[in-house]
Amino acid sequence: MAKENKLKIIPLGGLGEIGKNMTVHEYKDSIVIVDCGMTFPGDEMLGVDVVIPDVTYLMKNKDKIKGLLLTHGHEDHIGAIPYVLKKIDMPIYGTKLTIGLLQNKLKEHNLENANLNVVKHGDKFKLGHFEVEFIRTTHSIPDSAAIALTSPIGTVIQTGDFKVDFTPISGDVMDLNRFAELGNKGVLALLSDSTNVIRPGYTLSERTVGETFRDLFYKAEGRIIVATFASNIYRIQQIIDAAELNDRKVVISGRSMVNNINVANELGYLRVNPETLIEINDMNKYNKKEIVIITTGSQGEPMSALTRIANNEHRKIELMSDDMVIISATPIPGNEITVSKVINKLLEKGTNVIYEALADIHVSGHACQEELKLIHTLVKPKYFIPVHGETRHLRHHADISYQLGTPRENIFILENGQSLEFTRDSANLGQMVQAGNILVDGLGVGDVGNIVLRDRKHLSEDGLIVVVVTINKQTGAVESGPDIVSRGFVYVRESEELMEEVRKIVKQTLDTCEAKKISDWSTIKSNIRDDLRTYLYTTLKRNPMILPIIMEV
Amino acid sequence: MAKENKLKIIPLGGLGEIGKNMTVHEYKDSIVIVDCGMTFPGDEMLGVDVVIPDVTYLMKNKDKIKGLLLTHGHEDHIGAIPYVLKKIDMPIYGTKLTIGLLQNKLKEHNLENANLNVVKHGDKFKLGHFEVEFIRTTHSIPDSAAIALTSPIGTVIQTGDFKVDFTPISGDVMDLNRFAELGNKGVLALLSDSTNVIRPGYTLSERTVGETFRDLFYKAEGRIIVATFASNIYRIQQIIDAAELNDRKVVISGRSMVNNINVANELGYLRVNPETLIEINDMNKYNKKEIVIITTGSQGEPMSALTRIANNEHRKIELMSDDMVIISATPIPGNEITVSKVINKLLEKGTNVIYEALADIHVSGHACQEELKLIHTLVKPKYFIPVHGETRHLRHHADISYQLGTPRENIFILENGQSLEFTRDSANLGQMVQAGNILVDGLGVGDVGNIVLRDRKHLSEDGLIVVVVTINKQTGAVESGPDIVSRGFVYVRESEELMEEVRKIVKQTLDTCEAKKISDWSTIKSNIRDDLRTYLYTTLKRNPMILPIIMEV
């Protein structure tokens, strides 16, 4: 009897982390991929711009790849595509807005010939051995979808990011009925969003934020500046609605905000009177009570429009004393301090600032516990795999699945690279494939690794001292130096004595080496390093990087 | 008529920031200081260990200083004392525990001859022209006090950090009656804690945490490990109480935890059966159900005991599968990610982790809005100065004071260094004195400034390239080099081509200089820098620090 064919699910990102979502589904000669996201570097990844998944496994199995399916247009689901497409050409499928946003992004990377395919919710099509279906969900960006993948082994549903918003701003509600239908037919496995699993109850509807906007806009005496996520088209819709209700024009500021609003508007995802949107240069033609500015910078990003406004560095927008600034977002963990700084800067200028602690100007885009239970209950999966979360989220989600009746042995907490293999009536851990973080720094993809990061960390904490000596090739005698150059160590003008002392110590080391007839350069260098390190640690309790360089003439 | 004498209040720290609290009160030839705290460096202060207030103003007025008064023993109120005492010798006054904790700290800095004076709540004494009174408050450390300073101009009350805990763990409740008495007599100015001013309502009593401990301890099947702030003696008391109730022994881990518990125990601030505390080495003599470990690391600090336990790097404590870890703290803004990392690490090892989102295992030590209103209402100050807060906190507190009836012109939002001058019936902004951050890095106090930090930031983001060339003094010809050394830039082994290209570019630059007969070294260096920078930015979009060094022989 031939070996039974198995369905493999291999997460390449999004497990044990928030971000960088990417999942491989493989059956026989067919691979389909769900999402291809990036994440932002952690504090320890100094100087890194973006982190993407390691796709070595896909490079090795290029021939099997039938397509990449996108659940929605957020960076943590589409942000790695430009980097991956340069290595793996493949057709990409997504709903209209998702593909529109991706197109925009690919243009910036000069990748205009990608094979992009617009899919509608409810569409079903074959990709190799898989039947693919996009199911409507609700999230903090329109046109989001869950994806059902049916192979001969069974149906797997991947929720993508979602919340259950019964009163979404535009478009229909989540297609709960389809989840129920599939549940009735029998679902092999559910991979579900764990981002908010620690929060009890329900996430509030996006609509609640609109009420706050209407109240605030009604009261405002001067201009209104609202910072939010550029991708939150619903939020932007509600700001525009509140503006129109109060006879205010809308100005857009910030590159990504302008881009996203253009795409959403062109594709019909925004309802806006043609005369509402005005150019930033025309702002002065209006009374300040007639202006709303929608801007980026809700996370306190240093180069964003809001931060530049707060620091008086924006070329076109200068703060006025009766401006009202609304930060319609919650700080993503790690951004609390940069957001506080912007708030404080604005307040110092006398601006009225409304932020999350003061008013209901933000709701999450992710499902809380009761919503997660709802989907789980409708789908009734045989196997459950919590995804999109740190370990604590995955464990919690696993516990909820267990409470809902899934046997412990049918719940799998995976890690990136850990494959799971299904037959029709079994699931078992399979091989570990290569997975991890690829660091992008400028145009370099993957050329910054642990050694480089360790050096950057060392340099950032104590700076460096370069010691240069010229030595005569024949005689071994010092021809010139030691010259000492330091950066990031001490303020040199006020530390001349110290630098003189450093020079003396290196001289002594060189003398000792000469006396001991040590002519091996690496030994001389390591002696210089050791003697200097000891001296500096004893006198200053500091440990700069020491770079001895020997030139021979 | 002689010029009227004025009372001056000068904040040297704690305004526009959380931490580094220090306030100067000056009348004629008398200066008394309230608190002398440190703060932790911001993200931009790379490599800095501690930040202390600039005390130049006090150095210039040394002769007037009558004493330093301490409200309580937290680092942000006493942490800068070792550094300041080295420059300014002065008598220090505080309650018993505060002085005990300070003594411990001074010992570590080899400052054992300080003039320390233990004061009791209710004590009144003269310091120069000031009458000083310590008033009992409640906070997350025992023995906290507000300070009333009466000069011929009037009485000023500085609350220090406080909450109104009607059921404190030990000791008496806050002396609200004394605040009321002083209020009735007439208070010139109130300086009040703004840390929690954005939160409505009341801070819960510390006692509520004890209930959670009792429930959790009752259920635990294995060892219990509780991480909390080493200074929160009440919390530690409640952990000990819950341990004794459940017949468990207590092990202390972490240097600062051991130190603080020793001081508190010696001075009678802990009720603990002598047989409850056991040595860490004796832990194995007991069943795991008989053990509670109290440890540091509730903020995910990389070197703390809890982080070492989570990483399997603790010499004496190895995780067991049925350990319960309780993180009895909330992440201080900026620490969210390090705390999450520790939680995830523990969960990966299968440990049961209880943290703030899951159970009521922490309450704040600072007053929320209703408590702040209570103190303000009892004291009825003529002038109000919100302190201990970022701009947003100070503004909010000012608004509350206004709502309570203080005229806007009697409310002063100061900044560090901005003096406020009082007569009996007026208050006006006075001169600005020198104030700011002094950075402590290792043993160096103040030798790391903006240039050093800017270089560290540059190095941390893109690393550096050192270019060394030896040039003949007489002929100007290149004798050896260019040699290229890079650190924190690219992984050199995989970038040999790039480094070869770098060498070529420097050679070209040197040839061009020679051809153009440029012999001025600084021009040669700046040409090397420019050419290399352009090349690297074009090919890699990176901007490493470039250090050209010319040696002459």
Backbone CA torsion sign across A355, A358, A363, A364: positive
Neighbours of B424 (CB within 10 A): 12
Per the structure block, which two tokens stand in for B218? 């009752």
Q: How far apart are CA B439 and CA A526, in angstroms?
A: 31
Contacts of B459 in chain A (CB under 8 A): 456, 459-460, 463-464, 487-488
Options B25, B129, B366, B393, the catalytic residue? B366
Neighbours of B316 (CB within 10 A): 15
A363 among annotated binding-site residues: yes
pLDDT for the residue numbered B267: 95
Please name every residue paired with A418 in a beta bridge, in sequence order, or none if there are none: A432
Strand order across the beta sheet in which B145-151 lies: B124-127, B130-136, B145-151, B154-158, B187-193, B381-387
Closest CB from A447, A490, A545 relative to B495: A447
DSSP state of B64: G
Is there a contact between A154 and A129 (Cβ–Cβ < 8 Å)? no
Judge whether A171 is closer than 8 Å to chain B, CB to CB.
no
DSSP state of B115: -
Closest CB from B451, B479, B483 relative to A491: B451
pTM of the model: 0.90
Smallest CA–CA distance, residue B399 to chain A, in Å, is 12
Q: How far apart are CA B234 and CA B259, in angstroms?
A: 15
B50 among annotated binding-site residues: no
Mean pLDDT split into 10-residue runs, chain A, 553 residues:
82 96 97 97 90 97 97 97 96 97 94 95 97 97 97 97 94 94 97 96 95 95 96 96 96 94 94 94 94 95 93 93 94 90 94 92 96 97 98 96 97 97 95 95 86 93 93 83 90 79 93 86 91 93 93 86
Options B54, B193, B241, B462, the catalytic residue? B193
Q: Mapping DSSP to helix (H, G, I), strand (E, B) and coil, where does residue A157 land? A: strand
Contacts of B345 in chain A (CB under 8 A): 391
Q: Is B193 a catalytic residue?
A: yes
With b for 16 or more beta-carbon neighbours within 10 A and e for fewer, the B175-203 pattern comes to bbebbeebbeeebbbbbbbbbbbbbeebb
B483 and A539 within 8 Å at the Cβ level: the answer is no
Is there a contact between A164 and A202 (Cβ–Cβ < 8 Å)? yes
Q: Mapping DSSP to helix (H, G, I), strand (E, B) and coil, where does residue A82 land? A: helix
- For A235, A441, B66, B149, B191, the CA distances from B125, given in Å and listed in that order, are 60, 63, 12, 10, 20
The count of C-alpha atoms lying within 13 angstroms of the C-alpha of B162, restricted to the half-sphere facing its C-beta, is: 31
Provide the chain B residues 181-220 that lie in CB contact (below 8 A) with chain A.
Answer: 198-199
Pick from B189, B535, B533: nearest CA to B387? B189
Judge whether B42 is closer than 8 Å to chain A, CB to CB.
yes
A470 and B480 within 8 Å at the Cβ level: the answer is yes
pLDDT for the residue numbered B493: 66
- Residue A417: its H or E element: none
pLDDT for the residue numbered A127: 98
A344 and B481 within 8 Å at the Cβ level: the answer is no
- Rg of the Cα atoms in chain A: 29
Q: Mapping DSSP to helix (H, G, I), strand (E, B) and coil, where does residue B256 land? A: helix
- For A77, A138, B174, the CA distances from B203, given in Å and listed in that order, are 40, 37, 14
Smallest CA–CA distance, residue A470 to chain B, in Å, is 7
- For every one of its 553 residues, what pLDDT tens digit does chain B have, with 9 covering 90 and above? 456 799 999 999 999 999 999 999 999 999 999 999 999 998 889 999 999 999 999 999 999 999 999 999 999 999 999 999 999 999 999 999 999 999 999 999 999 899 999 999 999 999 999 999 999 999 999 999 999 999 999 999 999 999 999 999 987 899 999 999 999 999 999 999 999 999 999 999 999 999 999 999 999 999 999 999 999 999 999 999 999 999 999 999 999 999 999 999 999 999 999 999 999 999 999 999 999 999 999 999 989 999 999 999 999 999 998 999 999 999 988 899 999 999 999 999 989 999 988 889 999 999 999 999 999 999 999 999 999 999 999 999 999 999 999 999 999 999 999 999 999 989 999 999 999 999 999 888 888 888 899 999 999 999 999 999 998 888 878 888 799 999 999 876 667 888 899 999 999 999 998 888 887 888 999 999 999 999 999 988 999 999 999 998 8
Pick from B506, B495, B492, B494: nearest CA to B535? B506
**Is the peptide bond between B41 and the residue preceding it cis, with omega within 30 degrees of 0?**
no
Residue in chain B closest to A458 (alpha carbons) equals B460
Q: How far apart are CA B385 and CA B419, in angstroms?
A: 12
Q: Is A366 a catalytic residue?
A: yes
Closest CB from A345, A443, A489 relative to B541: A443
Reported as a single tens digit per residue, the pLDDT across B277-287 is 999 999 999 99
Strand order across the beta sheet in which B418-423 lies: B116-118, B92-94, B65-69, B30-34, B22-27, B7-13, B418-423, B426-432
Q: Mapping DSSP to helix (H, G, I), strand (E, B) and coil, where does residue B495 land? A: helix
Q: How far apart are CA A305 and CA B317, in angstroms?
A: 49
Q: How far apart are CA A30 and CA A24, in angstroms?
A: 10
Neighbours of A503 (CB within 10 A): 15
Percent of chain A at pLDDT > 90 equals: 85
Mind giving me the DSSP string for B142-161?
A: TT-EEEEEEETTEEEEE--S
Longest dimension (CA), chain B: 88
A480 and B551 within 8 Å at the Cβ level: the answer is yes
Q: How far apart are CA A534 and CA B174, in angstroms?
A: 52
Judge whether B399 is closer than 8 Å to chain A, CB to CB.
no
The residue of B452, B453, B521 whose CB has the most chain A CBs within 10 angstroms, and thus the best one to mutate to test that interface, is: B452
pLDDT for the residue numbered B220: 95
Contacts of A368 in chain B (CB under 8 A): none
Is there a contact between A434 and A440 (Cβ–Cβ < 8 Å)? no
Name residue, tokens 């153009």: B516
Smallest CA–CA distance, residue A456 to chain B, in Å, is 5
* A–B interface: beta-carbon pairs under 8 A: 196
Domains contained in chain B, CATH given: 7-201+364-438 (3.60.15.10), 207-354 (3.40.50.10710), 448-552 (3.10.20.580)
Options A25, A121, A314, A366, the catalytic residue? A366
Pick from A147, A154, A117, A152: nearest CA to A132? A147
The residue of A416, A454, A551 whose CB has the most chain B CBs within 10 angstroms, and thus the best one to mutate to test that interface, is: A551
Per the structure block, which two tokens stand in for A262? 């253009």
Q: How far apart are CA A62 and CA A29, in angstroms?
A: 10
Options A165, A193, A323, A462, the catalytic residue? A193
pLDDT for the residue numbered B242: 97
B460 and A464 within 8 Å at the Cβ level: the answer is no
Reported as a single tens digit per residue, the pLDDT across A193-228 is 999 999 999 999 999 999 999 999 999 999 999 999
Neighbours of A419 (CB within 10 A): 20
Closest CB from A390, A459, A494 relative to B460: A459
Q: How far apart are CA A203 and CA B80, in angstroms?
A: 45
Question: How many residues are present in chain A?
Answer: 553
Contacts of A552 in chain B (CB under 8 A): 480
pLDDT for the residue numbered B76: 96
Contacts of B485 in chain A (CB under 8 A): 547, 549
Provide the chain B residues 313-332 that lie in CB contact (below 8 A) with chain A.
Answer: none
Q: How far apart are CA B220 and CA B239, in angstroms?
A: 14
B314 among annotated binding-site residues: no
Pick from B106, B12, B110, B117: nearest CA to B70? B117
The count of C-alpha atoms lying within 13 angstroms of the C-alpha of A139, restricted to the half-sphere facing its C-beta, is: 23
Q: How far apart are CA A27 and CA A159, in angstroms?
A: 20
pLDDT for the residue numbered B1: 44
Judge whether A485 is closer than 8 Å to chain B, CB to CB.
yes
DSSP state of B541: S
Q: How far apart are CA B432 and CA B427, in angstroms?
A: 15
Amino acid at B389: G
Pick from B359, B356, B312, B351: nearest CA to B221? B351
The count of C-alpha atoms lying within 13 angstroms of the C-alpha of A216, restricted to the half-sphere facing its C-beta, is: 29
The residue of B301, B341, B392 whose CB has the most chain A CBs within 10 angstroms, and thus the best one to mutate to test that interface, is: B392
